[in-house]
A and B are shown apart, each in its own frame.
Chain A
Amino acid sequence: MVEAFAVASGKGGTGKTTSTLALGMALAEEYDVTVIDADTGMANLLFHAGLSSVDTTLHDVLVEGGAPVEAAVYDRFGMSVVPCGTSLAGFEAAEPERLRDVVATLAVDTDVILLDSPATLGSKSAVLPIVLADRVVVVLQPTIPALSDGLKVQEYAHSYGTETAGTIFNKVTDPDDVQSVAEKSRRYFDGPTLATVPDSDAARKARRAGEPLLAHAPAAAAAEAYRGAARDLDVRSGAADDVADRFRSAVIPEQR
């Protein structure tokens, strides 16, 4: 079985990468999880996962005649992690459409794929993770710009045939107040509110230490919130072959 989720928000700074890795680690208790940094233009997952000095990244796989996918997969924190490089040259050389084959290859041997998605909807490579995923997890903050951008992400996803798995309210400073915001936003967002994650120094310290939140501060309230999100996420089984076929046959032209 395999299901691919895009972890997305229209806006930067909502804590998508922290959320992707935290959700991944929590889901890894039960599932075989693969996390892919699909933000090929502004990659940062490698810094969060202690992978900043690795030789081979997604950039090396996304070029013609490049490295095999397996060479960019690292076993870390109980998950398979595919980091992406940060060089502009790497981004420019990468062919985003090849992401489809990467996901198809990895889908054969995992239960859950999490795609850490770009904080923009402004280019084809930025929306590809949302197009390729089965469902999207929308990371929100209880602010007007973040909600407005989250709504846009959801509409793009739905327009491209990708459903909403749920929402995560991140960097919440007042848990009591966010309840009512979450309640009101439920009218507009499909799926459950998977978590309201308190704003915490633990997440910032984890980032500085190059570790996912759940590895760095497993007892933090924020970490517990992500474990709750993983429990509430109903991972749907799909035959791996079907998913691989679907990705391979996705109607994305071969050439840019």
Chain B
Amino acid sequence: MKLPSGRLVHSRVVDDPGAALAAALDRELTGYAVLEPQETLLLAADARGVLTLTDGVPVLTYHTETDRGGPPALADLAVPGPYRLELVALPADVLADLHDTPALRVPPGMPAQRLAGDPDLAARTRNNAPDSRVRESPASGSDSGEPAQQSAVEAFLENEGKIEAIREQAREEARERAAEWGLDEVCE
């Protein structure tokens, strides 16, 4: 997915994708959000997730490392934070052309549901979406509704490398914090 450069309106480190989605929604951003996991242990250095947005509501998703779009890209992006978040504003007409890419589309509430596991944020996002999009299904038709959620979860659990990286990162964090908190001696 080739994105125009646009105007950077927000750049910061966020703890989780939910914070990124909420930031975009609160600003009613029209443009795109780039999420770059800070933990390079988990992903290649250039791994980024991109979400385009209209009035803060996600439209397309794409993952640079896996080259996948739509719901599968959300599964690729689901790694522990923190993330570097950039919000970029674009004119609506520039986005309109991009948005004619059915394979990359996601239903409005799906990113909040899958990346953040946050039903309230998903509901808030759907409330901000135009009526025409509220019942939108992903383009493939094979990845809608609850079974899709499960299949994304299963895909996540099948990615042993990613799971091992999450565990390794947690072990390292637990060790570092044990030292910080005076718990060294319980640490195995």
Contacts and interface: CB of A to CB of B under 8 A. Distances in A.
B154 interface: yes
A178 B150 CA distance: 7
Interface stretch (B44-52, B56-64, B110-118): B110-118
A140 B113 CA distance: 15
B33 interface: no
Interface of A, secondary structure class, is helix
B175 A11 contact: no
Interface in B1-24: 16, 18
A103 to B, nearest CB: 14
Given A144-B75, A147-B153, A124 B181 contact: yes
Nearest to B77: A144
A20 to B, nearest CB: 20
A152 B188 contact: no
Nearest to A181: B153
Nearest to A156: B174
B78 A145 contact: yes
Given A11-B117, A147-B156, A151-B167, A127 B187 contact: no
B78 to A, nearest CB: 4
A146 B157 CA distance: 12
Interface string A171-206: 001100110110011011000000000000000000
Given A142-B153, A144-B78, A151-B163, A253 B115 contact: no
Contact of A159 (B75, B152, B163, B171): B171
Contacts of A156: 170, 173-174
A188 B157 contact: yes
B178 A145 contact: no
Interface residues of B, number: 38
A231 B16 CA distance: 36
A144 B170 contact: no
B98 to A, nearest CB: 26
A131 B175 CA distance: 13
A53 to B, nearest CB: 28
Given A145-B117, A180-B154, A253-B182, A174 B175 contact: no
B29 to A, nearest CB: 22
A87 interface: no
A143 B151 CA distance: 10
A185 B174 CA distance: 22
Interface of B: 16, 18, 75, 78-80, 113-117, 146-147, 149-150, 152-154, 156-158, 163, 166-167, 170-171, 173-175, 177-178, 181-183, 185-188
Interface of A: 11, 13, 121, 124, 127, 131, 141-149, 151-152, 154-156, 158-161, 173-174, 177-178, 180-181, 184-185, 187-188, 250-253
16 contacts: A124-B182, A127-B181, A142-B150, A144-B156, A145-B18, A146-B117, A152-B170, A155-B170, A158-B171, A159-B175, A161-B186, A178-B150, A184-B157, A184-B158, A252-B182, A252-B183
